[in-house]
Structure 1
Amino acid sequence: MEIELVPPSEPLDWARGGWLCPPVRAEEGPGGELIVEPAAESDFWRRTSYGFVHDNGPALLAPLPVGSAMEVSFRLDLTGQFDQAGALVRVDERTWTKAGVEMSDGELQLGAVVTREFSDWSVAPVPEWSSRQVTVRVSRAGDALTVRARVDDEPWRLVRLAPLDPAAEATAGPFCCAPVRAGLTVVFTGWRQGPADTALHPEH
């Protein structure tokens, strides 16, 4: 049984957000989409396994209060190692979650990185999503952040359930990174906000 989610009722204008680490280029396209080019060697990661801290990816962020959900949509066209795009939820440089699609070892991967001083990473292959529209949904309710994603109008997939302090002030929005190359361009096609998910699982 597919879970039913309340569609976000408020489209967000790109001007509603503020840039964390401005990109090389960000411009509005003829259809209202946002075209973003991140700098080479841009990424979000903190310590685990690799030993480094990267906190320089471009992200367009707006408030994500408790009781709200946000959706970010983009056209999936990633070709370089670790090219990535999706939604970032940020409290500070030590507490954040990024979720979306990343090119890893030659294959498109749907996944999330949850960081609380140290980053973790989980992925699942989605080669069939190539060249289609992906939507990432982050929903904040109580002490939890629920991350879902889908391609086109297919059913939502649960990507991650992560803790998020209900007292924390968080922002969220579209992000993209190009850790190993220059020239990546990501076309974001939508940014919406609405009420948080009412359930984690479908009712039986």
Structure 2
Amino acid sequence: MRTAEWSEGHWTTEPERVRTSDEGLLVTAKEGSDAWRITSYGFIHDTEHALLRPISVGEAVEVAFRADLPEQFDQAGVFLKTDDTNWIKAGVECSDGEPGVGAVVTRGESDWSLSPVPEWAGRIVTVRASLAPGAITIRARVDEEPWRLVRVAPLATDAILQAGPFCCAPTRAGLVVHFLSWRTTDADTALHAEG
């Protein structure tokens, strides 16, 4: 496992404020920041705060953060991008008053999956994205609990792929996300736990 330095990445959209400390990275999101393409809402938003660096097939990226996301659509996790119309964001998002774990997979247009995890509020969440040829496997966990499979999705991995932590605050100002770590490791080799 290798810890990435915060300085290794570049922002897709500069946040309101970024502060590093011994305990990680504190990111203040701009009001209206979001990533979405067309589906159901009709708009395109590409103002997410994603700190990205290249990643290769056979690697996984892990991002840990504190799930303090109390307002509608506050979100944080992992962002993977090949280009402006092909990307994935996965992590925790506040929806209808409670946190949910899920992913938005975008291949021209976005789709969204979300499962409520109210017990994750305020705790440390780690999201892992593993790259296999043509596919991404997303897993997440809270504290040291077992990994949960969140999503298996297609994504062109023959192109240059970048990945790293992200956050968005679509509906308000003042969201501060505390990222604790950003690491790369070997990709998961199996989709299911061995029994």
What is the CA distance between 1:32 and its match in structure 2?
3.6
Total equivalences in the alignment:
195
Q: What percent identity do the matched residue pairs reach? A: 57
- Give deviations 1:109-147, integer Å, cap 9, x for gaps: 111000000000000000000110000000001121000
**Equivalence for 1:198:** 189
1:181 to 164, 172, 176: 172
Q: Which amino acid aligns with 1:135?
A: T
Query: How far apart are residue 101 of structure 1 and its match?
Result: 0.4
Q: Is it true that 1:27 corresponds to 2:19 in the alignment? A: yes
Pairs within 5 Å for 1:109-124? 109-124=100-115
Match of 2:163 in 1: 172
Equivalent residue for 1:64? 55
Distance 2:157 2:27 in 1: 31
Conservation of the 8 A alpha-carbon contact between 2:128 and 2:138 = yes
Per-residue deviation at 1:49? 0.1
Please tell me whether the aligned partners of residues 133 and 158 of structure 2 are also in contact (alpha carbons under 8 angstroms): no
The equivalent position to 2:2 in structure 1, one of 10, 19, 43, is: 10
The answer for the alignment partner of 2:90 in structure 1 is 99
1:126 pairs with 2:133: no
Pick from 126, 139, 144: which aligns with 1:148?
Answer: 139
Runs of 4 or more consecutive aligned structure 1 residues displaced over 6 Å after TM superposition: none
TM-score normalised by L of structure 2: 0.98
Considering fraction of residues, name the structure with more strand.
2
Q: CA RMSD in A?
A: 0.8
Q: Classify the secondary structure of the residue corresponding to 2:119.
A: helix
Query: Which of 49-58 and 193-202 deviates more?
Result: 193-202
2:51 partner letter: L
CA distance in 2, matches of 1:50, 1:188: 29
* Structure 1 unaligned residues grouped into runs of 5+: 1-8
What is the CA deviation profile of residues 15-55 of structure 1, one whole-angstrom value per residue up to 9, with x for unaligned ones? 111111010101102x2410001100000000000000000
Q: Deviations over 1:47-81 (max 9, x none)?
A: 00000000001110011111100100001101111
The aligned residue for residue 64 of structure 2 is 73
Q: TM-score, normalised by structure 1?
A: 0.94
Distance 2:155 2:171 in 1: 30
Give ranges in structure 2 of 5+ residues lacking alignment.
none
Amino acid at match of 1:39: K
Superposed CA offset, 1:82-112 (max 9, x none): 0000000011110000000001111111110
